[in-house]
Each structure stands twice: as structure tokens, then as C-alpha cells.
């Protein structure tokens, strides 16, 4: 260290010590504090950055369900056929943490859920994400660990989200568990021209014993890539998944504003070799390999009176036709009607194919999602009533859910929601476990 730098370091220490002394004695105010009269203040401590962050939320949710007695899924999922109502209390904690050091950072999200219902207590803890990031420049990021992917532009569904977890259209904004990947993200922006931004995200997703086992076949490596373009004010993603754990697939999505208050978005995905389980007429099962094309088209519109409407049509090319679903429901219904000895074979088969596709959320082919919500009607600040509908267009069954959300208490979110679930016999929503649901949810963020 030369003389100048020693002197500089000494002066820095003296200045720092003097500043600390002044602060401790209250002689000076922080230069960045703002006081608008005596009414409001903005202090330095409110914007001070620490290398670590910790937060999350605690959720308490109570639900009351009227059981759809005699329906296929109440028979398959509930052990007591006489059960007419069900009450459940659900508590969960989500913890978010991060630590930054230079160009590296570590982020983690944990979720623990406990539930008490008519059948007893159940609980589950999941690491949604835990990954290390290295960012040598704003344009380049490398990361390693478990990350949650939300690719695609659809609000309720993402047919092109090849490495996403399937989200629940009833709660599309909830956090989801990720996959363990090695990822690189490269961004390039331009000041002029039609192409404003290009960004390439590539993720290597291995499937080994204990690693991403639920993604597909084990002992395989998979590569997922997304090329994002902001071209002429339109967001465009080209997405590909190549590998052996799942069949390879390609997709694209887009989002653009046709007018300041009118957004249009869409997704398309093509899977050349989709392996799909079918229930045959003799109630046996078979696996077919076929191509599948899925697509989604949606709008988001903000009216003059602050009503936001989201409407999406989803064509699920990998789903089942109305006739194929009816075959499944009929087999399960016959199994439930017969005496336990005769029916057990059919019920076992129904439970088996339910897990292989027939029982997953939205197993059909044609769906409409619509949500309308009004922000702060009648000058009620932080209050947002809304209504959401989910319709299976093939069998005309539906779920309609009015809801009211209030966020007026700092760090609290309160939601009251009622769902009416209805449909004919052998239709998707006509064979659900419950015919309606009343839900009150409180979240406290910290």
C-alpha cells in the first residue's frame, strides 16, 4: 500500500467514524430521509439493502364441500359412500430466502402444508426451489439447482410449458415445485430496429434415481430451450424439449397488445410421438403412440370501468374425446354399483387409468376459461370481486366460482370463494367428488 492509498484509507476510517458518531448522537439526519410535513416520512432504513432476505407467507384456509354422492370420483376417492359433506382446515407456510455475494446468489423457497379433514391429518413439505446463480454480466446468467419454470403465455393452461409443473386453473398464481436443472440465460437488446430483444434460455434436466424422477424415464438427459424475441412490440417464444425421458416436442407462444387495453396471447405445441394410455371397449388398457397438437388462444381486456376480463380457449390435443371419457366413467360406475367382490376388478382398473390420464385435471379436449374481476368498485380500496368459469365444451359441464379478495390490511390477503360444480352424468364436472365448495382463505405475508 503506498502513502496516498494509506492516507485515503485513514481518511475514510475517520470519516466513517465521525459519521457514526454524529448518527449515534443524533446530531445529523440521514441525507436521504424525506419528510412531507409531519405527516409522512421516508427513512434510509426502509431502503437499506442487506445481502440476505427472508420472507414468505402463512396461510390458513377453511373449506366446506357438499359431496356429489354417487359420482364416479366420490366413489373412487372417498372411503365412506355415506359422506354427504366434508370440512377441512388447511394450513401452509411458504418460506422464501436469498443470499447475494458479489456476482453469485442463492435462492430458496420451501413450502409445508398440513390438512385436517374428515379422514384425519395429512401433511407434506416440499422444496419448491433451491438454486445457485452466477451472473458475470446483466446479459449472462448461469444457474444450478431446483428451479420452478413457468414458460408459456396462457393464464390457466400452458401447453407449450414443457418443463412446467401442471398448474391449477382455480389458483393459477400459486407457486409450484421446480425441477433440478443446469441453466444458462443469455440476453441481447438492441436500441433500434424491429427486433428489440432476444434471449436464449437453455436448461439441462437430468432424470436419475432421486433426481426429477417424476419427469419421465430415468437415466436420461433432457434439454429444454426457449428463445424469446420482442419483435415489433410482440413477445414471441420458441420452445423446444429434446431428450429421452419424455418424447421430444416443439412449441411457440406470443403476446401482444392490439390496443392499449386489449391484449391477445396464444400458445401452440406439437408432440410427434405422445405415448397415451387408452381404455378399450373390453375395459383393458393399451398404450398408443401418436402425434398431438395442442393450442391456446386468449385475450385480456380492461374496460373503462376497470373490469379486467381474461378469456382463454384451450384445445388439449393429448386429451380424451367425450366418448373416451364416457367409457371410463361408465366402467367406474359399473364397478361402484356392483358388489365389492365383483366390482373390485373394475374399480382397481378405474383407479389405475385415472392415474394414467383419465383422472388428471382437464383430461378432455376443449375448454374455455373466463375470469372477470373489478378493481375497487364503489371506491372500496383494495377490494376486488370477480367471477371465474371453467367449462368443458365437449360435455357442457362446468365450474363457476364467484370470489371476493380484500388486501386492505397491510400484508394480509383475504379471499372468500364459492364454487358451483355441475354437469350431466358421465361428464367431467358432473362426476367430481364435490358439487360445490365454500372457501375462506387468509394469507399473512412477512
Partner 1 sequence: MYTIIRRLICSMCMVFLLTGTAFALDGNEILRQVDANMQPQSYEMYRKLINIEPDGKKKEFVLYTVKSGQDKMVALFISPASEEGRATLRLGDNMWLYIPNVGKPLRITSLQSVVGGIFNNSDILRLDYGVEYDAVSATEDDKFYQLDLKAKTPSVAYDHLKMMVDKETLLPLTIECYAISGMLIKSLHYSKIKDFGDGMVRPSVLETDSPLHKGYRSVMLFAKVDKRDFADEVFTLNYLAKINELRK
293 or 412: whose CB is closer to partner 1?
Answer: 412
**356-395 residues near partner 1, rule: CB under 8 A:** 375-376, 379, 381-382
Residue linked to cell 358388489: 339
Residue from 117, 244, 413, 425 in contact with partner 1 (CB under 8 A): 413
Q: How far is the CB of 55 from partner 1 (least distance, A)?
A: 5
Among 199, 218, 250, 387, binds partner 1 (CB under 8 A): 199
**Bridge-based pairing state of the strands 397-406 and 383-392:** antiparallel
Toward partner 1, which CB reaches closer, 233 or 282? 233
Stretch that binds partner 1, among 45-53, 315-323, 330-338, 360-368 (CB under 8 A): 45-53
Q: Least distance from C-beta 414 to partner 1, angstroms? A: 11
> If binding is defined by CB under 8 A, does position 415 make contact with partner 1?
no
User: Is there binding between residue 406 and partner 1 (CB under 8 A)?
Assistant: no
CB atoms < 10 A from the CB of 303, how many?
Answer: 11
Nearer to partner 1, 131 or 313 (CB): 131
Task: State phi, psi for 194 to the nearest 5 degrees.
Answer: -70, -35
CA–CA separation, 431 vs 408, rounded Å? 38
Among 407, 415, 422, 442, binds partner 1 (CB under 8 A): 407
Question: Distance between CA 431 and CA 423 in Å, rounded?
Answer: 8
Interface with partner 1 in residues 219-258 (CB under 8 A): 228, 230, 233, 235, 255-257
CA 375, CA 402: separation in Å to the nearest integer?
14
Among the listed residues 177, 263, 352, 425, the single contact to partner 1 using CB under 8 A: 263
Residues from 107 through 126 that contact partner 1 (CB under 8 A) = none
The piece of 15-23, 26-34, 311-319, 354-362 that touches partner 1 (CB under 8 A) is: 26-34
Q: Cell numbers of 237, please?
A: 417464444
Cβ-based nearer residue to partner 1, 10 or 444? 444
Considering beta carbons, is residue 412 or 418 the nearer one to partner 1? 412
CB of 138 to partner 1, least distance (A): 4
Of residues 321-360, which lie at the interface with partner 1 (CB under 8 A)? none
Residue 248: φ, ψ to 5°: -65, 155
Ranges within 173-192 binding partner 1 (CB under 8 A): 173-176, 185, 187-191
Please count the CA atoms within 13 angstroms of the CA of 167 that sit on its side-chain side. 26
State which residue, 97 or 357, has the beta carbon closest to partner 1.
Answer: 97
> Quick one: which of 17, 55, 81, 361 contacts partner 1 (CB under 8 A)?
55
Least Cβ distance, residue 233 to partner 1 (angstroms): 6
What is the rounded CA–CA span in Å between residue 93 and residue 123? 12
User: According to the binding rule CB under 8 A, does residue 408 interact with partner 1?
Assistant: yes
All 3 cell numbers of residue 39? 405527516
**Residues in region 58-87 near partner 1 by CB under 8 A:** none
Distances (CA, A) of 97 to 53, 73, 410: 5, 39, 21
Among 4, 38, 46, 209, binds partner 1 (CB under 8 A): 46
Angle (nearest 5°) at CA 110 between 106 and 116: 175
Q: Which of 19, 23, 28, 33 binds partner 1 (CB under 8 A)?
A: 33
> Which 3 state secondary structure label does DSSP give 280?
coil
For 57-70, give the DSSP string: EEEEEEEEEEE-TT
Q: Shortest Cβ distance from residue 289 to partner 1 (Å)? A: 31
Q: Which is nearer to partner 1, 126 or 393 (CB)?
A: 126
Residues in a beta bridge with 235: 230, 255
φ/ψ bin of 145: left (φ > 0), alpha (ψ from -120 to 50), beta (otherwise): left
Q: Are strands 434-445 and 52-67 parallel, antiparallel or unpaired?
A: antiparallel
Q: Which H or E element spans position 348?
A: helix 340-353
Interaction residues for partner 1, span 152-171 (CB under 8 A) = 152-153, 155
Using DSSP's 3-state secondary structure scheme, residue 159 falls into coil
For residue 299, what are the β-bridge partners?
A: 264, 311
Pick from 71, 74, 141, 397: which binds partner 1 (CB under 8 A)? 141
Q: Which of 13, 86, 97 is nearest to 56 (CA)?
A: 97
Site membership for partner 1, residue 24 (CB under 8 A): no
Least Å distance, CB 268 to partner 1, is 17
Q: Rounded to whole angstroms, how far apart are CA atoms 386 and 372?
A: 5
Interface with partner 1 includes 100 (CB under 8 A)?
A: yes
Amino acid at each position: 500500500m503506498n502513502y496516498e492509498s494509506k492516507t485515503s484509507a485513514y481518511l475514510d476510517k475517520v470519516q466513517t467514524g465521525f459519521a457514526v458518531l454524529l448518527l449515534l448522537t443524533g446530531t445529523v439526519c440521514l441525507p436521504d430521509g424525506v419528510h412531507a410535513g409531519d405527516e409522512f416520512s421516508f427513512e434510509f432504513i426502509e431502503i437499506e439493502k442487506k445481502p440476505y432476505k427472508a420472507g414468505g407467507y402463512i396461510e390458513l384456509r377453511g373449506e366446506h364441500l357438499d359431496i356429489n354422492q354417487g359420482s364416479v370420483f366420490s366413489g373412487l376417492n372417498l372411503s365412506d359412500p355415506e359422506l354427504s359433506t366434508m370440512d377441512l382446515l388447511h394450513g401452509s407456510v411458504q418460506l422464501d430466502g436469498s443470499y447475494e455475494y458479489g456476482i453469485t446468489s442463492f435462492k430458496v423457497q420451501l413450502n409445508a402444508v398440513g390438512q385436517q379433514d374428515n379422514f384425519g391429518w395429512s401433511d407434506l413439505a416440499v422444496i419448491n426451489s433451491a438454486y445457485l446463480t452466477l451472473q458475470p454480466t446483466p446479459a449472462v446468467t448461469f444457474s444450478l439447482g431446483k428451479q420452478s419454470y413457468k414458460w408459456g403465455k396462457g393464464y390457466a393452461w400452458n401447453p407449450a410449458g414443457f418443463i412446467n409443473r401442471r398448474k391449477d386453473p382455480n389458483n393459477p398464481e400459486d407457486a409450484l415445485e421446480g425441477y433440478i436443472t443446469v441453466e444458462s440465460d443469455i440476453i441481447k437488446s438492441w436500441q433500434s430496429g424491429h427486433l428489440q430483444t432476444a434471449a436464449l434460455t437453455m436448461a439441462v434436466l437430468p432424470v436419475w434415481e432421486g433426481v426429477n424422477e417424476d419427469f419421465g424415464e430415468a437415466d436420461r438427459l433432457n434439454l429444454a430451450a426457449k428463445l424469446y424475441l420482442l419483435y415489433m412490440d410482440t413477445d414471441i417464444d420458441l420452445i423446444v424439449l429434446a431428450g429421452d425421458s419424455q418424447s421430444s416436442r416443439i412449441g411457440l407462444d406470443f403476446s401482444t397488445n392490439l390496443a392499449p387495453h386489449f391484449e391477445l396471447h396464444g400458445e401452440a405445441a406439437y408432440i410427434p410421438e405422445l405415448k397415451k394410455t387408452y381404455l378399450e371397449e373390453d375395459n383393458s388398457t393399451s398404450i398408443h403412440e401418436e402425434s398431438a397438437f395442442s393450442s391456446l388462444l386468449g385475450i385480456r381486456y380492461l374496460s373503462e370501468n376497470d373490469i379486467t376480463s381474461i378469456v382463454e380457449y384451450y384445445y388439449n390435443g393429448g386429451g380424451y374425446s367425450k366418448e373416451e371419457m364416457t367409457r371410463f366413467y361408465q366402467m367406474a360406475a359399473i364397478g361402484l354399483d356392483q358388489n365389492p367382490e365383483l366390482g373390485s376388478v373394475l374399480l382397481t382398473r378405474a383407479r389405475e387409468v385415472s392415474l394414467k390420464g383419465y383422472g388428471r385435471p382437464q383430461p378432455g379436449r376443449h375448454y374455455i376459461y373466463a375470469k372477470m374481476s373489478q378493481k375497487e368498485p364503489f371506491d372500496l380500496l383494495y377490494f376486488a370481486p370477480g367471477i371465474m368459469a371453467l367449462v368443458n365444451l365437449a360435455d357442457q359441464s362446468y365450474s363457476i366460482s364467484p370470489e371476493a379478495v380484500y388486501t386492505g390490511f397491510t400484508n394480509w390477503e383475504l379471499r372468500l370463494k364459492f364454487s358451483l360444480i355441475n354437469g350431466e352424468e358421465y361428464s367431467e364436472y358432473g362426476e367430481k367428488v364435490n358439487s360445490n365448495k365454500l372457501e375462506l382463505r387468509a394469507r399473512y405475508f412477512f
